[in-house]
Structure 1
Amino acid sequence: MRIRALLISVGLLAAATVQVSGGAAQAAAGPVLSVDASASRHAISPYVYGMNFADAALARDLRLPVHRWGGNATTRYDFRNDTSNRAADWYFENIPNDNTDPSTLPDGSDSDEFVDQNVATGADTILTLPLIGWAPKARAKACGFSVAKYGPQQSTDPWQPDCGNGKKPDGTNITGNDPHDTSAEITPAYVTDWITHLKSRYGAANSGGVRFYNLDNEPDLWFSTHRDVRPEGLGYDELRDRTYAYGAAVKAADPGAKTLGPVGWGLNSLIYSGLDQDVCGRTGCWSNPPDKAAHGGQDLGAWYLDQMKAYESAHGTRILDYFDNHIYPQQSGVLGDNVDAATQALRLRSTRQLWDPTYVDESWINTPVQFIPRMKNLVAQHYPGTKVAITEYNWGAFGHINGALAQADVLGIFGREGLDLATLWTAPTTAQPVAYAFRMFRNYDGAGGAFGETSVKATSADQDKLAVYAAERAADQALTLVVVNKSGGELTSDVALTGRAGTAQVYRYGDADLTTIQHGANLTVSASGFTGTFPANSITTIVVPKGTTTSPSPSPSPSPSPSPSPSPSPSASCTVAYTIVNQWQGGFQAGVKIVNTGASAVNGWHLDWTYANGQKVTQSWNGSYNQSGANVSVVNVNWNASLPAKGGSAEFGFLASRTGTANDVPAQFKLNGATCVKV
């Protein structure tokens, strides 16, 4: 459906015509884009830019905000022997982590190393906790379906031929196997022990420790993925009871930790229990699922949220903080590496299932999905105050520009639709196009340049051709736009901007060069906007400075921003933007950007300030901190030591405890002893 933007007027015809890329003469007319910085303002959670299993280099490059330890192998993991069962993904085998020195355990486990990386890169951690009631019984390889014990099987591990896939040669499942072949029973006490261990190494959640815990991984599929220990589907009541027991154990062990559940696999997880998916998958009872019927015909997602609310009402403790379900596009060929022309077009259309009420899912689903609004509406109706998360999603084609376009579209949708947390399954390599899609939001200039934290109104007359997303940045009040050309051809479009005028920076990524983000020529934005040409198969980030406001003052942003400060004096050689990113009782997270405005480069820096109200830094990233009393000093790390003259910059972040108010910005900052201007 095409809707002409309401903000376009005759005045736009006088807008500056700017080639965002070359070739305007050959470009087709594109849909009108409109951005209004004063409308539809809401905070974008930084946690929507998360990943599963990113390497440290990529995490640093993207300043990855949240990093998840998840997947089927984490449903049965024991930190004490550092061994996981790989479930149906790999022959139901117990496999110890061979990088660990067993004599040091539980210290130095694979999960510890995961958290260590996050501490070093500044990412918050999500760890998956087993709710299934089983964990590897020993630090040794073992098979869930031994060929010697259970007979010939359809497939066996080429390197461990006694480990089969649990299916007889005719394809039917082996039944009656002994779960103790690989596993031993665990209870919520296991969770208590693990969190106690984590707190001893990293502190509590509110003091720089592990912040998030997934309440297992896709428990509605245990009957398939972990059928060697759980051959029957998980019903409504048992899901509730396990969540109560294990969620309560998390909150007792670390009250500041946040929990995410039920971590279902997709749309069906909002409707059916694992028991109904098991039974109806075999018998075809989808029109009258027995477990659902036994619970008043209520969909699982709504019932689950009701039960979590009931627990809080009865006990005074919230044991569910995020309503978390996964989504993988079910359209044929989209999830994977297929890049034929039809699949590329389908991949780009299919992102509409995240939000669009007019998009009928082109798969077996065959109905509008509206995944994010659907989940938010369930929360609003059944457990208000719960946040919404998607801890696994994947739109495929990581190594192709088509995958990058889809990923950029998805990230824009997450921010616009108000999702609270998302982690891509799994992470791309640093050189893959999908990694560049993240950079266009997180580090488009290689110096920490990022999409804004406050979403503003941005519309396209044809989202399937040009998608546009916009946000205001707290540190400098710049308006940031991301435009995704999904049409397959170069397009020239009028872009109406309400509220901004000035000289903007342009960055773009596309199939002309998949190895780098190009910094294009600056463009001039007039009072009514500009006209831009967007290359085929490209992502363009446009940064419009605060400049001149050309419309009524915007409504206040819900995201925190630094206190007002005077304009830089002529003699100032540096500016500092100090931003409160997040805060909670007794603590906060802050980000700092230093800009060298002087005529000489700075090679090696330290930034110093003094707190007035008891703040104490507890953890930092992209800089090494030292605090003595109220005096704080942050020193560069190797890769950001150089600040080129006239605009060179560096950013770092930190966590801090407080007894006063987190929004108390230090009165003065000094860069290598020289006083900087706060901006």
Structure 2
Amino acid sequence: MSALAQNSPGPAISVNPAADQHPISPYIYGMAEYGVTPKYQAAARLSVMRWGGDGTSRYNWIVDSSNAGFDWYFMGGDGNASPVPSAEPDALVAADNATNTSTLLTIPIIPYINNSAAWSCSFPVSVYGAQQATNPYVFPNGQTCGNSIASNGTQLLDSNIPVNNVANTPATQAAWVQHLVAKFGPGIKGGGVRFYQLDNEPFGWSNTHRDIMPNGATYATISTLGAEYAAAVKQQDGSALIFGPSDFTLGGWIGTPSQQNNLFAGQYYLQQMAAAGHANGRRLLDSFDEHYYFNFTDVTSQLASTRTLWDPTYNGGTWVEKYWFDGPMQLIPRFQQWIAQYYPGTRLSFSEYSIDSGHKLVTDAIAEADVLGIFGREQVALATMWNPPQPTDPIAFSFLLFRNVNGKGLAFGSTSVQTVSDDQGEVSAYAALQGPGALTLVLINKTTSNLTTPIRIAGQTGTTNAAFYSYGNADLTAIHKLANVPFSAGTGNVTLPAYSMNMLVILLD
């Protein structure tokens, strides 16, 4: 596509290195730990790895196993005859420490957790009868395991929860944190677990974990459980940072307002956690954490969907915008306003998000780069992308652009500064100071044309040649260093390849 692209004038970019300065959290460059290769983790200098998702809600650290719930036939255990307590998370923390990566670990707060490492399932056909689907691979004690939906479509109920589950308690999870502190040290020292997430998508328990929670949980219950388990974690490691409620896109943010003081679930949760923290004499929630899956149907809407994070003029067309928010999502400012009103001082994070089409497109890479730029500009504290890519997938290069663009550790700066694109829909622009004398500027061309874009950097009088790195459709296998871009008195012009993400490294006067 880029070979046929025509050169066109691009929007002007204005940068003021002295204005709107604020730190960029290093923890926005994270991923879920499933499937990330150690080599890529080190190369991309991923700052956080998350151990989370549906499969961690019922994890029992003592038997080092969980139950997959509705995601996979309610299978419990892993068949290990000699389980080692906390073996899987311990291995992750150790691996993260080896690459100077922080760990975000999920603490179950759901009322029941798995009780044995031996294979089991909640709905064996021998007990509950024929079901719409069964596990074709694993047969615990010769049993065929069903998906909990009878052949006629009826939702089955687990008639004996204690067979495969044991009651979860704050004391159980406190003992786990005690184990982690003893093994790795407290989180504040860098070797221990610094971030703990309070379960996973709790408003969806009635679906994912319908065997043990057929009626789900109200946000009053979710908030109460969250406060109890947060206090238990903090008692064992006062330096630990707690994230919650970590609920699912759209519905999980809203809950049932009539049961929540006529508030959205996120607002109510912040209100209740603030009250619980006051009663406890310490902060129990450090980061208001939610999940976000971007809504798009094609490459055009994919690239535009990043605007739902911040733009007060852009409506993504979701039902939550139409029926609940009464207008554009502007998600980050909205969540920040909730925090300011109900629990000031709480950070904002997205422990699960994705803008990946799954088709290994260049637009996946440039959309993800746009998201990373927005997270830094809008002061998000932590973010971990779901469904990590293979190292050769286009989206994998988005993290390399920001964290290791030249393969030798050159990264986007750590202090965000004022950056304006005359047309953010064509070219997104993000700038940051990298130490006292250098500016890094990320420019994302969202169009199918090569754009010649003028750049103006305020306060500059001298001449310099900016290093220019680019990734785009011309070669999806590598980031390339292109010819330097000359600047004189803070002014320069750069031609951005069609559908590309680019970084300029500019020495300042």
TM value normalised by structure 1: 0.70
Distance change >3 Å, CA 175–CA 24, structure 1 → 2: closer
Partner of 2:85: 106
Instruction: Indicate conservation of the 8 Å contact 1:43/1:453, yes or no.
Output: yes
Partner of 2:384: 423
Question: Is 1:545 the equivalent of 2:500?
Answer: no
Question: Is 1:234 the equivalent of 2:217?
Answer: yes
2:353 counterpart SS class: coil
What CA deviation, in whole Å up to 9, does each residue of 1:200-254 have, x standing for no partner? Answer: 2101112220101000000010000100111112112211210121011001011
Partner of 1:512: 474
- Of 218, 230, 237 in structure 2, the residue corresponding to residue 247 of structure 1 is 230
Question: Is 1:71 the equivalent of 2:53?
Answer: yes
- Within 5 Å, give how 1:635-650 maps onto structure 2: none
Gaps of 5+ in 1: 1-21, 277-291, 334-342, 549-679
Identify which of structures 1 and 2 has the higher relative contact order when contacts are C-alpha pairs closer than 8 Å and 6+ apart.
2
- Within 5 Å, give how 1:300-449 maps onto structure 2: 300-331=265-296, 333=297, 343-365=298-320, 366=322, 367-397=327-357, 399-449=360-410
- Of 160, 166, 171 in structure 1, the residue corresponding to residue 153 of structure 2 is 171
Question: Is 1:51 the equivalent of 2:70?
Answer: no
Shift of the alpha carbon at 1:26? 4.0
What CA deviation, in whole Å up to 9, does each residue of 1:265-308 have, x standing for no partner? Answer: 12332321xxx3xxxxxxxxxxxxxxx32443122222211122
Structure 2 Cα separation of the partners of residues 29 and 315 of structure 1 = 59
Shift of the alpha carbon at 1:170? 2.6
Structure 2 Cα separation of the partners of residues 390 and 186 of structure 1 = 26
Partner of 2:95: 117
Instruction: Indicate conservation of the 8 Å contact 2:77/2:116, yes or no.
Output: no
Structure 1 Cα separation of the partners of residues 498 and 404 of structure 2 = 22
Counting aligned pairs with the same residue, the percent is 40
What is the identity, as a one-letter code, of the residue corresponding to 1:485? N
> Aligned pairs, how many?
493
Shift of the alpha carbon at 1:41? 1.0
Structure 2 Cα separation of the partners of residues 534 and 148 of structure 1 = 63
Structure 2 Cα separation of the partners of residues 170 and 409 of structure 1 = 46
Structure 2 Cα separation of the partners of residues 438 and 61 of structure 1 = 9
- Of 440, 443, 449 in structure 2, the residue corresponding to residue 489 of structure 1 is 449
Structure 1 Cα separation of the partners of residues 501 and 151 of structure 2 = 49
Distance change >3 Å, CA 135–CA 294, structure 1 → 2: closer
Structure 2 Cα separation of the partners of residues 330 and 156 of structure 1 = 31
Partner of 2:70: 88
Distance change >3 Å, CA 238–CA 535, structure 1 → 2: same
- Of 134, 141, 144 in structure 2, the residue corresponding to residue 156 of structure 1 is 134
Partner of 1:10: none
Q: Which has the larger radius of gyration?
A: 1
Instruction: Indicate conservation of the 8 Å contact 1:330/1:364, yes or no.
Output: no
Instruction: Indicate conservation of the 8 Å contact 1:24/1:533, yes or no.
Output: no
Partner of 1:13: none
What CA deviation, in whole Å up to 9, does each residue of 1:525-554 have, x standing for no partner? Answer: 1114111111001111000013x2xxxxxx
Question: Is 1:498 the equivalent of 2:458?
Answer: yes
Instruction: Indicate conservation of the 8 Å contact 2:73/2:148, yes or no.
Output: yes
Shift of the alpha carbon at 1:82? 1.4
Structure 2 Cα separation of the partners of residues 102 and 378 of structure 1 = 47
- Of 170, 181, 186 in structure 1, the residue corresponding to residue 168 of structure 2 is 186
Structure 1 Cα separation of the partners of residues 426 and 491 of structure 2 = 20
Partner of 1:466: 427
Partner of 2:183: 201
Instruction: Indicate conservation of the 8 Å contact 1:82/1:97, yes or no.
Output: no
Distance change >3 Å, CA 295–CA 520, structure 1 → 2: closer
Structure 2 Cα separation of the partners of residues 425 and 466 of structure 1 = 26
1:135 counterpart SS class: strand
Shift of the alpha carbon at 1:145? 1.1
Structure 1 Cα separation of the partners of residues 234 and 433 of structure 2 = 35
Instruction: Indicate conservation of the 8 Å contact 1:492/1:534, yes or no.
Output: yes
1:259 counterpart SS class: strand
Instruction: Indicate conservation of the 8 Å contact 1:143/1:181, yes or no.
Output: no
1:260 counterpart SS class: strand
What CA deviation, in whole Å up to 9, does each residue of 1:506-528 have, x standing for no partner? Answer: 11011111111101111211114
Gaps of 5+ in 2: none
Partner of 1:533: 495
2:395 counterpart SS class: helix
Question: Is 1:457 the equivalent of 2:418?
Answer: yes
What CA deviation, in whole Å up to 9, does each residue of 1:455-496 have, x standing for no partner? Answer: 01111111111111110012x531001111111111111111
Instruction: Indicate conservation of the 8 Å contact 2:180/2:192, yes or no.
Output: yes
Structure 1 Cα separation of the partners of residues 62 and 473 of structure 2 = 47
What CA deviation, in whole Å up to 9, does each residue of 1:297-353 have, x standing for no partner? Answer: 12222221112211222221111100000001233x4xxxxxxxxx01110011111
What CA deviation, in whole Å up to 9, does each residue of 1:380-421 have, x standing for no partner? Answer: 111111000000000113522110011001000101111111
Structure 1 Cα separation of the partners of residues 379 and 27 of structure 2 = 11
Q: RMSD between aligned alpha carbons?
A: 1.8
Shift of the alpha carbon at 1:438? 0.7
Structure 2 Cα separation of the partners of residues 143 and 466 of structure 1 = 51
Shift of the alpha carbon at 1:197? 1.1
Partner of 1:139: 117
Q: Which moved more, 1:395-404 or 1:244-253?
A: 395-404
